[in-house]
Amino acid sequence: MSESIFAVNTHKREYLDALSFGEYTDPVHFPQKYFAAALSMLTCDARSVLGLDPIAGSWSGDKVILVVDSMPPNSGGFTTSTAQDPDRNLYAMVWQDFRDVSADAVAMICNWIESASDEVASKINGEYGLNEQLLYILGDIAVDKKCHRLATAIEKHVGENWISLREKAKFKYER
């Protein structure tokens, strides 16, 4: 059973979503590769490294916790339930109330690691066919963040009509 996972900066009230990299977790395994690389880049002290994306190092020194969607309400040291939603857990609270920095992190990794765009985009056409939600997420990053490597990789794996497919998926998955 796979779960969704966030890395959460509790100080800045920001989060990184593994789904944006096409990665999930299960009770035994932490998301591999690019989610972990992005988390490392966010939390490292990157001030002395020239040429890195401005988001690199932006979480350096801050408390960062991992949150999964199956956590019970009021866990992790946070009061998450409300009178209107007594079952709300930390995952839901973060999704509703914190800022998602995943798009910036995906663009950073795709621009920094040459093979990342192709590998992440290849997950759009996974073992179960076209993953519209991932196409929507990665397509938005390619367009909004002007990540040309990612756009080229999406076209390679989805086809020349990927932008129109993304627009159709947008209506299903837009927050």
Structure confidence by residue, pLDDT tens digits, 114-136: 899 999 999 998 777 888 999 99
The structure tokens 């801050």 sit at 62
Determine the pLDDT at residue 5: 87
Q: How far apart are CA 115 and CA 33, in angstroms?
A: 11
Q: What is the DSSP letter of 173?
A: H
| Three-class HEC string of 52-120 | CCCCCCCCCCCCEEEEECCCCCCCCCCCCCCCCCCCCCHHHHHHHHCEECHHHHHHHHHHHCCCHHHHH
Band of residue 3 on the pLDDT scale cut at 50, 70, 90: confident
Task: Give CB contacts under 8 A, 24+ apart, made by 23-27.
Answer: 25/68, 26/1, 26/2, 27/1, 27/3
- Cα gap 1→89, rounded to integer Å: 19
pTM confidence score:
0.88
Where in the chain are the domains? 5-100, 114-173
The Cα 80–Cα 75 span in angstroms is 8
pLDDT digits (tens, 9 = 90+) for 68-114: 888 899 988 889 999 999 999 999 999 999 999 999 999 999 998 98
- Per-residue pLDDT tens digits for 21-51: 988 755 556 667 899 999 999 999 877 666 6
Question: Do β-strands 64-68 and 5-9 pair in parallel, antiparallel, or remain unpaired?
Answer: antiparallel
* Residue 149, helix vs strand vs coil: helix
- Distances in Å between the alpha carbon of 122 and those of 22, 23, 25, 81? 9, 12, 18, 38
| Span 150-168, average pLDDT | 94
